Amino acid sequence: MKKRTVIKTSNHLQLCVLNNVDIEVFVGGISGYKGRLISFDDETIEVNDGKYLRCNCSIFMGKKH
């Protein structure tokens, strides 16, 4: 089984934005989004489908484009 990298810090999120790394967002253990991270702040992340509260989701690193 492949180990997945969990994104927990703003520094990790910034690296994903700068390097065009896809993310996968899980809410309640269910995948809610796969794709690029557009922006983030202390409370939310913004993706193509909308926004997620950072405290309500788990974010994993995907692949680099």
Name which residue leads in pLDDT, 23 or 3.
23
CB atoms within 10 A of CB 22: 16
Contacts of 14 by beta carbon, 8 Å cutoff, 6+ apart: 40
If pLDDT is split at 50, 70 and 90, which confidence band does 65 have? low
Q: What is the pTM of this model?
A: 0.86
pLDDT tens digits, 6-63: 999 999 999 999 999 999 999 999 999 999 999 999 999 999 989 999 999 999 998 6
Distance CA 41, CA 31 (A): 21
Domains (range + CATH), the chain: 6-64 (2.30.30)
| Residue 27 φ/ψ, nearest 5 degrees | -120, 120
Please state, in angstroms and rounded to a whole number, the distance separating the CA atoms of residues 19 and 51: 20
